Structure 1
Amino acid sequence: MNLSLIAYEILVILVFFLGGVIGFYIRRYISESKIGGAEKEAQKIKELASQEAELKSKEIISKAREEAVKIKNDVDRELKNRKVEIQKLETRLLQREESIEKKIEAVDKRERAIFQKEEEIRKMREALARQYEKHKQELLRIANLSEEEARRELFNKLEDELKVDLSKKIKEYEDRLIEIEKQKAQEIIATAVQRSAVDFVSESTITVVPLPNDEVKGRIIGREGRNIRTFESLTETELIIDDTPEAVVISSFDPIRREVAKLTLEKLIVDGRIHPSRIEELYEKAKEEMEEKILEEGEKAISELNLGDMPKELIKLVGKLKFRTSFGQNVLQHSLEVSNLAGIIASELHMNYQISRRAGLLHDIGKAIDKETEGPHALIGADILRKFGENEEIIHAVASHHYDVPLEKPLDYIIQASDAISASRPGVRNESIEQYIKRIEELEKIATSFDGVEKAYALQAGREVRVFVKPDSIDDAVLPKLAFDIAKKIENEIVYPGQIKVLVVRESKAFGYAK
């Protein structure tokens, strides 16, 4: 019984304890629920308050911005108005300044003009005073002169006054005369060129000889080449025998040798007996015929120009020009053309017609032997003519036509001009511009290849090379050796007509400064 009561009491206590615990947790749950609801309500209230505050703040900010924009617009408008007023004031000030400056400048000009006028008036007064004194003295002097002396004095004054006018007139007439002379010179040259039409030939270094058949080629060569060796040795030419049908080629830079070789070969072909001894025999005959042909060509040229008597040896030299070419132009044809041109120009200038034509024909006579003699062909020609007792005026014209000696007499200028006209006609000379430029460049390149050479220029269409050396690198004693070396290198490396003059120049310069 007691145990049951105790158990019951314990059970009651446990029930109360459990009920208290459960009640605690239920109460706690209810409290937490209420707190959570209150917090949510508070959060909602807070959010509503925040939204309301944000709306009010935005409204306030918007109003503030509108007010600020309004104030800014008012300020900008005020500033703009002020700026316009300031600009107007500045414009008025600038206009006033310009007006004042113009007035000041006008005043300065007026002052300068007044000063100049005053100076001019002062000078005029002084000049008038001097003139007055001069006339006074002159009147005093004239009062003591006789009638003859007064007349002479008057004439002297008139002469002095007329001298100025006369000088002006002379200058005007000189200018007119120069213009007329220039026009007349052009007419003379045009007339000379129109009335002189001479053919020209192209330079060639080969001659083709036709054969009756190709069997002759073997006979020309001969056993073991004896015939061709003999032929080439005698004629000093090269005989080219190739696959060209019924033809052989003779090659040589000397036109006379080439012509003699051609005559010899033609005679051998006609004769049919081709062997060394016969070649020698016919070669001698061909040489004799060539001499006769040269003389015949010379006589023909002199007869054509009607130049009268001339030494036989000189006639032969003229004939040799038929077989000499320069830049593709036959020298005899060129000489005939120069002779005709010189005669026409001399006639127009009322000078000696025959002497001018004679000088024109002989102006290049030095080219007949220039390959055998050292020196420019113009000076060689002058020496030849001097040897044959030619007219001294002609000799000087020949020597000077390439400026080897100065031009002095009218005939010198006529021959030089005629030579230039003949040589410069289009198509006369067959050296192309490219070849000419290349030769000039090669000359300058060779000259500048030596140590100590600063620069070099080819002058007179490649007839002269002027070399400038560095004065601190090369001494005067070395200049002749340098000129010789350059000339030798040009001889070895370039093919050119005539001769080329090498002039080496050394210049020393000193400077001083005054401080």
Structure 2
Amino acid sequence: MITTVIAVVCVIVGIFLGKVIFAKNTSKQIEEAQQQAQLIVKEGKIEADAYKKERELEAKEKYVQLKSEYDKDVNNRNRKISEGENRIKQKEANIGQKESALEKQVKENQTLKSELENQIEIVNKKKGELEKHQEEHIRRLEKVANLTAEEAKAELVENLKHEAQTQALTLQQEIIEDAKQKASKEARKIIIQSIQRTAAEQTIENTVTVFNLETDEIKGQIIGREGRNIRAIEAATGVDLIVDDTPEAIVLSSFDPLRREIARLSLTRLVADGRIHPARIEEVVDKTRKQLEEQIAEIGERTVMELGIHGLHKELIRIVGKMRFRSSYGQNLLMHSRETANLCGIMAAELGLNPKLAKRAGLLHDIGKVPDEETELSHALLGAKLAEKYGENPAVVNAIGAHHDEMEMQYVISPIVQACDAISGARPGARREMMQQYIQRIKDLENLAQAYNGVEKAYAIQAGRELRVIVEAEKVSDGDSDKLSFEIAQKIQTEMTYPGQIKVTVIREKRAVNVAR
């Protein structure tokens, strides 16, 4: 169709040109024009044929391409169907094998069951014969001793009990006297050994984090060629990586817990990703540092919300969150500050003061321990300076600066903060244990006492310094109370680890209750 149109157009153009030439020129010129017109018509036909062939070739190529794609899709589907059929056949074969094995096992079990029943019958027969012989033997002994078996047993048990109690009390007194003589010398030795042991533990706990690995092969990736990866990690985080012969572990060493946490999280991501090289290390450390900053802000906001403190400056909230990654004498700084804030609120409420203001001062009293920049000021004075900078109440500022007597106390809440800070730090276990470990130790102490017969309730009071055990008067006598107190104290001493000493008090009371109607 397109070819015909082009040819018609060319003919019309040629006729038009011929008429024009005919009108203006001679007959010779008319012939030349007619020849030129015929030439144009031929060229038009040639171009039309070429265009037609080109379109036909494109259509054939498109058809071939679609057909190949369809064939490929069909082959893939057939392959998947055949694989599925093979898997089904394999599963059917496995199920058949398992069924045969199960039937075999059932038959074996039935055989074993019958054998076991026969053996049980034999044992029961022998047991009956033995009981008969034993009864005959007991009757003969009763005739000889003129006592029944129960009477003889009770008399023997009573004699052994009195003898054992006498020997135990004598031995107890001897041990106590000997312990009093050696107490001073042994106490000095224990204190020196404890200082020697716990000094290293304290340093390790506050400066080292162990990063566990799945295999030792990852150590080579972390070190990198000629140590370039480990140098990049140390330069980016400020943490020393110690790679030694310890199996499946790398030690992260730094005085700053925040840096150690950044290094630990960065290493976790790098190992999980598998791409460990200097450029990737810097990228991951930067992302981790930003995410940790966001986490610090979230921790601060959550702490402030839980304590019911409002209107705190964002920078102070961030500093409160940073306390989560700081420790003081082995005690987590955020836990210590929260505990101090709660104690301040309780004490202020009892004294008729503003509990919210006291909580605020208790939470912020140690913010000087997490400065962004090093300074020569003490943490109390630096904390007061920060609180004043971010618009805190003058009473809060004074309480922060005066909680170590470095400023004059000008408000009533200042001595409250100082006292609560001392209470939180002086609690047994506070300076060496996390809160969760302390609570678990208290629970273990109560559970140990409740395991004894006749114990009704057990309460650990005075922050774990005293254990009060309430016993049932019908089951435990006054004499048994002394013995129970001694046994519990000995068991605590041998099975538990605790700071200081624990007083065990056993309480027994008889209640007579009647109701007047």
Task: Assess same fold via TM > 0.5.
Answer: no
The TM-score bracket by the shorter chain reads 0.3 to 0.5
TM-score where L is the length of structure 1: 0.44
TM-score where L is the length of structure 2: 0.44
Structure with the larger RCO, 1 or 2 (CA within 8 Å, 6+ apart)? 1
In our comparison, the structure showing a higher alpha carbon Rg is 1
